[in-house]
Structure 1
Amino acid sequence: MTVIMGSMRWVTFDCFGTLVDWRHGIGTSAELIAPGQGARLLEAYNRHEHLVQAESPTMRYRHVLAETLRRACEEEKVDLGADDADVLATTLPYWPVFPDVRAELTALREAGWRLALLTNCDRDLIAGTRRRLPVPFEAVVTAEDAGAYKPADAHFELFRSSYEPEVWVHVAQSYFHDMEPAHRLGLRRVWINRHGLRPSDPSIVPHTQPDLRGLLAAVEATA
C-alpha cells in the first residue's frame, strides 16, 4: 500500500465491476474451461464468492477465485480439471476496462481529485490490472493490506487512517460490497448501477447513475 500524507480531495473506487468488466472476465474465462457453460458458471460464481470471503477473510484472492469456481462448478454439475481452477487468477489481468473509464477519471484528475482503489484483490493481481487502467491511481488498498474483504469496514478504515482525506467520495458498482459499508461509515458515495438493479433501501444510494458518464459532476455535487 502506497502512502501519501496530507489532507486532500479523494475519490475512491472499487475496481472490478466498476472500472473493469468483472462479469465479462468471469464468464469468458469460464468458457475456456467449460465451453457453453460460461453464463451459468458466472451466476453460480456470483452466488458463492462473498460466502467464501466471509468464511476465510484472510485467504489470498487467487485462492478465493479458485475455491469459488470449484463451488460454482459443483453446483452446476460441471467437471473442473485439477489444473483449471486457477483460470480466473491467470486471466484477471486481461479482463477488459469499461470504455467510459478513461474520459471520466481523466476529468476527475484534471479537476484536482486524487484517485484511489479499494479492492477485494491482492497486491500481485491488482498490479497486473493497473497496467491496463488508462489513468494513474495515487493509492491502492487491497484485501491483502486490509486483512479482510468488503463489505467489512477494514478497507475504508485503513484508507482513512493512512490518507486522512479532507473530502472523500466513494464510487462503486456493488451495492452489497461498497454502498452498504460506505453508508454505514457515513461516507459520501455514488452508486454506478451498471446492471439496473433495485436497491433494497434506496436511501443508502442517494446518488445513482447507470455508468461513469458525467461522474465529475456527480462527485462534486455529492461532495
Structure 2
Amino acid sequence: MARDFQEFKYLTFDVVGTLIDFEGGIKTCLAEIAAETGTSIDGEEALRLYRQARYSEDADLFPDDLSRVYMIIAPALGLPAEDRYARRLRDSVANWNAFDDSAAALAELGKTHRLVAMTNARRWALDHFEKKLGSPFFATFTADDTGTEKPDPAFFEQVFEFVAGKGASKNDILHVAQSQYHDIGISRKLGLTNCWIERRHAQNGYGGTIEPENFTQPDYHFTSMAAFASAVKERLTERQ
C-alpha cells in the first residue's frame, strides 16, 4: 500500500511537463512561425520530430538546445531553417505557461510540505518558470546546479545530500512527475516513493517526452496537479 502523505516532509517536483506546459509552448511558437511564413503545422507531428531531435548525443542543455532542435525539424515541418526562428523557439521559453492547476496546487501543498524543484532546465529558464508558479519552492535544483540531467542517478543523489543536511533522508521524499522516462522509472530504482501526474491521459503517445523502455507502475497516480493536491489535503484533514 502507498504510504500516507503525512509521512513525507519533502515533495520533489519535475517542472517542465509536470508544472509547465512545454508541449503547448513549443507548439504555439512553431504555429506562430508557420502562420507568419504562410504555412501550418500538425502539433503532434511537431512534438514527435522534436522528441527525435532532442534526445541525441550532441544535444545541449535544455532549453538552449531548442535552437539546435529547430534547425533539424524545421525542414520536415515546412518551416524556414533560419537562425532567427531557432532563437525565437529558444526564447519562447520565457512565455511558456504553467498548467492551469499548477500554481494553486503548489500553494496548497506548500502549507504542509517543503517543495523542491528538480528540473533538467537551466537556471535562467527556471527563473521564468518560478514566476509563473508563484515562487513556491523551498529549494531548487537545475542542470546548471547538478551538472547532469535526469534520469542520471547523480541528479537525485545531490537532492538526497541536500535533505540529509536538513536531517531528513530519501524516505522523507515523495517525488512527483509526469515523465516515466526521466523521473518515475529512475525514482523507483533509487528507492523513492513516487507520484505520476499523467498530463497526457486524454492523448495517445508520449508527445515531446521520450518513451521509456518499460512502464513503471507508480505509487500514486493522478491526471492533474489539482487532483493530487486535493487528495493530499483530504487525507491530511482526515488525520487531524
Return the TM-score normalized by structure 1.
0.83
Alignment counterpart, residue 175 of structure 1, candidates 180, 183, 190: 180
Cα pair distance change 1:38/1:26, threshold 3 Å: farther
Structure 1 distance, partners of 2:47, 2:143, is 22
Q: Is contact 2:12-2:115 (8 Å) kept?
A: yes
Alpha-carbon offset, residue 147 of structure 1:
1.5
Counterpart of 2:217 (choices 204, 211, 221) is 204
- Counterparts of 2:22 and 2:63, CA distance in 1: 15
Aligned length: 209
Once the two structures are aligned, what percentage of the paired residues are identical? Answer: 28
Structure 1 distance, partners of 2:124, 2:70, is 20
1:179 CA displacement? 0.7
Q: How does 1:7-18 map to 2 (within 5 A)?
A: 9-18=9-18
- Cα deviation, residue 72, structure 1: 1.9
**Secondary structure of residue in 1 paired with 2:133:** coil
Measure, in 2, the Cα distance between the counterparts of 1:86 and 1:33. Answer: 12
Q: Distance in 1 between matches of 2:42 and 2:89?
A: 12
**How big is the alpha-carbon RMSD for the aligned residues of Structure 1 and Structure 2?**
2.5
1:134 is displaced (CA, Å) by: 2.3
Partner of 1:41: 46
Q: Distance in 2 between matches of 1:214 and 1:78?
A: 39
Q: Once the 2 structures are TM-superposed, how far is the Cα of residue 135 of structure 1 from its aligned partner?
A: 4.3
Q: Which amino acid aligns with 2:181?
A: F
- What CA deviation, in whole Å up to 9, does each residue of 1:130-151 have, x standing for no partner? 1111242111111111212222
The answer for the alignment partner of 1:114 in structure 2 is 114
Aligned to 2:228: 215
Instruction: Give the aligned partner of residue 4 of structure 1.
Output: none
Q: 1: CA distance between counterparts of 2:62 and 2:213?
A: 28
Give, in angstroms, the shift of residue 33 of structure 1: 2.1
Partner of 1:152: 152
Q: Give the drift of 1:90.
A: 1.0
Give the TM-score normalised by structure 2. 0.77
CA contact (8 A) 2:122 2:144 kept: yes
Provide the rounded CA distance (Å) in 1 between the counterparts of 2:94 and 2:119.
14
Q: 1:120 to 1:18 in 2, by over 3 A?
A: same
- Matched with 1:72 is 73
Unaligned runs of 5+ residues in structure 2 are 1-7, 206-211, 236-240
Task: Tell me how far apart the structure 2 counterparts of residues 120 and 210 of structure 1 sit (CA, whole Å).
Answer: 22
Question: Deviation at 1:12?
Answer: 0.8
Deviations 1:63-97 (A, max 9, x none): 31111222222444532212211123211121111
How far apart, in 1, do the equivalents of 2:234 and 2:88 lie? 40
Partner of 1:5: none
Which amino acid is 1:210 matched to?
T
| 8 Å CA contact retained: 1:119, 1:143 | yes
Whether the aligned pair in 2 keeps the contact of 1:190 and 1:218 (CA below 8 Å) is no
Task: Report the equivalent of 2:127.
Answer: 127
User: How far apart are residue 41 of structure 1 and its match?
Assistant: 2.2
What stretches of structure 1 of length at least 5 have no aligned partner?
A: 1-7
CA–CA distance in structure 2, aligned partners of residues 213 and 63 of structure 1:
30
- Render the CA deviation track for 1:185-205: whole Å, top value 9, x for unaligned: 111100001112688755532
Q: Which has the higher Rg, Structure 1 or Structure 2?
A: 2
